Structure 1
Amino acid sequence: MPFYIALIALVGLERLAELVVAKRNLAWAKAHGGREYGFGHYPFMVVLHSALLVACLVEASHRPFIPALGWTMLALVIAAQALRWWCIAVLGPRWNTRIIVIPGLPLVRRGPYRWMSHPNYVAVVLEGIALPLVHTAWVTALTFTVLNAGLLWVRIRAENAALAQALAEEPPPTAEQLS
């Protein structure tokens, strides 16, 4: 169990790192005319993702570690983190935990975005299943997956609508263009 506690703590630290990157990227996006969409579901997302970490620890304290399952799921957790940070790197300052789009900017079509529209959400789904199952927390994995499916249904619809609207608009003038 100490290894699992350390793993959950590392994932928690990773989440904090994401928030730091997101805050920096939010400032960049706002400076470039970015607008936020779909804010209504964001607080639920924060609570759900925070609850995942707590629930993993609570349930795992009552479950055995099954090596064949645990090590396989740990490999998936690592793969999910790699995919997430690949998405963050490819999107650069356009990546955020919120839905922020800049009118007129084209969609990113490189990295994992060559093959799918929302690879970061694939990482989220993988992690939501695998992280609890590292220590056999199957109730947490199932509950998070069901709740997250509803959240992603709302979020992807909001993101797609925001992107479609932003693509149809002209980009706002930059500070250099206004001078």
Structure 2
Amino acid sequence: MLTFMWVIFIFIVIQRFMELKIAKDNELWMKERGGVERGREHYKWFVIVHGLFFISIIIEFSYRGFPTEQFSLVLFTLFLFTQLIRVWCIRSLGKFWNTKIIISPEFSLVKKGPYKYVKHPNYIIVGIELFIIPLLFGAYLTAVIFPILHVLLLFIRIPVENRALVEAYNIEK
């Protein structure tokens, strides 16, 4: 079971690095077409928090150990469900998906997939993941601290993103 848990962990880390590559490619594509980045000042805090998130899981997981009877099929199923929604978010935005706020009024605002129903579905999924993933590993402290840090960062990011969308697309907040 311990090997399976490390496979899950490594999968998540590789997934995040692949997403950063997609985001960088999309950033370049958008900027070549007049996209402008907003919120650059706070972006570093997302990088720091998400990096510390993985370090925190490793520390807690290593410190506490992982008894084989602890594996939760329910949590694992919820994790898989969040991954499906995460992929749905990314695919729905396509070239416009990014970890940064990059806006261009040259393109229409995407309102398909989960974005048809919720304004910031990716942020919701990330918040859920920051709770579920540590629980999978028995990292209970991480499961409490990092969703709170995520919400605190969103109090900065969402207003910046909403202002950028209002300016670019003349939409109401």
Task: Provide the alpha-carbon RMSD of the alignment.
Answer: 1.8
Task: For residues 119-147 of structure 1, give each alpha carbon's deviation from its aligned partner in whole angstroms, at most 9, with x where no partner exists.
Answer: 11111011100000002211001010111
CA–CA distance in structure 1, aligned partners of residues 83 and 28 of structure 2: 24
Tell me whether 1:113 sits opposite 2:120 in the alignment: no
Residue 68 of structure 1 and its aligned partner are, at CA, apart by 6.9
User: 1:49 aligns to what SS in structure 2?
Assistant: helix
The 5 A counterparts of 1:127-142 are 127-142=129-144
Partner of 1:58: 59
Partner of 2:99: 97
CA–CA distance in structure 1, aligned partners of residues 55 and 3 of structure 2: 15
TM-score by length of 2: 0.90
TM-score by length of 1: 0.87
Q: Percent identity?
A: 36
User: 1:100 aligns to what SS in structure 2?
Assistant: strand
Task: State whether residues 101 and 162 of structure 1, in contact with CA within 8 Å, keep that contact through their aligned partners in structure 2.
Answer: yes
Aligned length: 169
Structure 1 regions of 5+ residues with no counterpart? Answer: 170-179
The 5 A counterparts of 1:16-165 are 16-61=17-62, 62-65=64-67, 67=69, 70-165=72-167
Partner of 2:10: 9
| Partner amino acid, structure 1, of 2:137 | H
Task: State whether residues 35 and 103 of structure 2, in contact with CA within 8 Å, keep that contact through their aligned partners in structure 1.
Answer: yes
Over alpha carbons, which structure has the higher Rg?
1
Partner of 1:167: 169
User: 1:139 aligns to what SS in structure 2?
Assistant: helix
Task: For residues 86-124 of structure 1, give each alpha carbon's deviation from its aligned partner in whole angstroms, at most 9, with x where no partner exists.
Answer: 111111111111000112533211111111001111110
| Partner amino acid, structure 2, of 1:29 | M
Residue 79 of structure 1 and its aligned partner are, at CA, apart by 1.5
- Which stretch of the first structure deviates more once superposed, 21-30 or 3-12? 3-12
Structure 2 regions of 5+ residues with no counterpart? Answer: none
CA–CA distance in structure 1, aligned partners of residues 126 and 69 of structure 2: 23
Alpha carbons of structure 1 residues 112 and 67: separation in structure 2 relative to 1, 3 Å: farther
User: 2:102 aligns to what SS in structure 1?
Assistant: strand
